[in-house]
Amino acid sequence: MHNNFIKHFIVVLIIFSNQSFGKEFNELFTIYVPIENSSKIESSINSSFNNLIFRISGSNSPSNIWRIINSGSARKDFITSYSIKNYENISFLEVIFNQDKVISKFKELSIPIIGHSRPVIFFLIEIESGSETSYFVSEEPENSIDTIFINSLQRLSEQRGIFLELPIFDLEDQKTISNSDILFSPKNYLTSKYNFDKLVDIKLINIGLNEWLFSGDIEKSISNAQYKKDIESIFFEFVESIISESFEDLVIDTSNVSSITINVKGISSYEDYKISKDKLLTLIGVTDLDILSFKNNIIKYQANIMGDINSLSRDIDNNSFFEIDGYRSSEILNLIYKK
């Protein structure tokens, strides 16, 4: 049930994100952790804080957590609110962290950070059990092997703040794949239906009693009565490494602070101004905004940013409220506000 709950929230995040590849993880600073009862709130808060630091730093190393604690800050200092939620008779602690305070601490300690724009990794996992026709794992499990893959992806997606996606088969997909001939490629058919930044192609084959073989992007053999645990650990470790690689080019250097001009077109009312400014300030790279002028529905800002204009542009490219308008330089960024 825990995994069903996480899946519910991941689906909500995806629905309200930009529908192109490289999507915006909207609830980046909201963490959900299981909780047995109200006496466990303190430990659950600690866990939620640790998960947040892993998620926004892009690193699963505990060193960043200890740097923050040793700087004199307590985990509770960064919390806006927390509350207990119930889903299918299971209790979870929802912890909302203050984005400005967290980013300020990262900046103070020069801890690298990753913005809301997160890659989409699409998984094609083909199972050949020997007892039935081979098939691809989807979001709806057919057996315990499927559940291993699904639960691992859901867990890592929630922990690291990244989109780890499996195919969703409708009746047309099932009919097309089952009726295919030798010239038809199910992999090409499935990948053509989705947008993603990276494709992971894996096949798991049962080659004997308690013997399994990974091929494709994972190449490992398993010969063990506890083969399910081995499948899980091999897959989990592999996905963690893929996530770390995917984050490498997205890191924002919080020690690198500069000033640029941002021009925002399409501001026709005070409400437009207020919403657009708030949305600009939610971009992790933007630390301060000062209005320079407002003319012909264009607001000109002087902005302080962390990292560089390329990292800021990447977050904007996957933002639902702005699009980049043509030319940009290291000192000027032209945006269009999308209502």
Segment 94-110 shows an average pLDDT of 94
CA-to-CA separations, 113 to 74, 117, 288, in angstroms, rounded: 19, 12, 17
Return the minimum-mean-pLDDT range out of 3-7, 65-69, 291-295. 3-7
Segment 108-121 shows an average pLDDT of 91
What does the domain layout of the chain look like in residue ranges? 29-112, 120-249, 256-337
Enter the DSSP assignment of 308.
Answer: -
Spatial separation of the C-alpha atoms in residues 211 and 224, rounded to whole Å: 7
The answer, yes or no, to whether residue 1 has pLDDT greater than 60, is: no
Pairing type for strands 220-223 and 298-306 reads: unpaired
Share of the chain above pLDDT 70, in %: 90
pLDDT at position 181 is: 62
pLDDT at position 230 is: 96
> Apex CA 24: angle with CA 278 and CA 126, to 5°?
170
Q: What is the DSSP string of 202-230?
A: EEEEEEETTEEEEEET--EEEE-TTHHHH
Question: Hey, what are 30's tokens?
Answer: 């909201």
pLDDT at position 302 is: 95
Question: Hey, what are 100's tokens?
Answer: 């400005």
Q: Please list, in sequence order, all residues whose beta carbon lies within 8 angstroms of the beta carbon of residue 85, skipping any fewer than 6 positions away.
A: 32, 91, 92, 93, 94
pLDDT at position 184 is: 66
pLDDT at position 87 is: 77
Q: Phi and psi of 101, rounded to 5°?
A: -70, -40
Mean pLDDT of the residues in the chain: 86
Express each pLDDT in 127-179 by its tens digit. Answer: 998 777 888 999 888 899 999 999 999 999 988 999 999 998 877 777 777 76
Q: Categorize the per-residue pLDDT at 183 as very low, low, confident or very high, splitting at 50, 70 and 90.
A: low
Pairing type for strands 120-128 and 198-208 reads: parallel
pLDDT at position 265 is: 94
Share of the chain above pLDDT 90, in %: 55
- Per the model's pLDDT, the better-predicted residue between 327 and 265 turns out to be 265
Express each pLDDT in 23-64 by its tens digit. Answer: 677 688 999 988 877 778 888 999 999 999 999 998 878 999
The answer, yes or no, to whether residue 19 has pLDDT greater than 70, is: no
pLDDT at position 180 is: 62
Express each pLDDT in 203-222 by its tens digit. Answer: 999 999 999 999 999 999 99
pLDDT at position 23 is: 66
pLDDT at position 239 is: 97
pLDDT at position 182 is: 53
Ramachandran assignment for 250, one of left (phi > 0), alpha (psi -120 to 50 degrees), beta (any other): alpha
With tokens 């096949």, the residue in question is 203
Segment 260-265 shows an average pLDDT of 94
Alpha carbon 42 to its chain centroid, in Å, reads 26
Question: Hey, what are 228's tokens?
Answer: 């399910």
pLDDT at position 5 is: 41
Q: Please list, in sequence order, all residues whose beta carbon lies within 8 angstroms of the beta carbon of residue 92, skipping any fewer than 6 positions away.
A: 5, 32, 33, 34, 35, 84, 85, 86
pLDDT at position 88 is: 74
Q: Which has the closest alpha carbon to 48: 79, 87, 4, 15?
A: 79
Strand ranges for the chain from DSSP E: 23-24, 30-34, 79-87, 90-97, 113-114, 117-118, 120-128, 135-136, 163-165, 198-208, 211-216, 220-223, 251-252, 257-265, 286-295, 298-306, 322-328, 332-337
Q: Categorize the per-residue pLDDT at 10 as very low, low, confident or very high, splitting at 50, 70 and 90.
A: very low
Spatial separation of the C-alpha atoms in residues 92 and 97, rounded to whole Å: 16
Contact by Cβ (8 Å): 313, 240: no
How many alpha carbons lie under 13 Å from residue 148 in its C-beta half-sphere? 17
pLDDT at position 55 is: 93
pTM score: 0.80
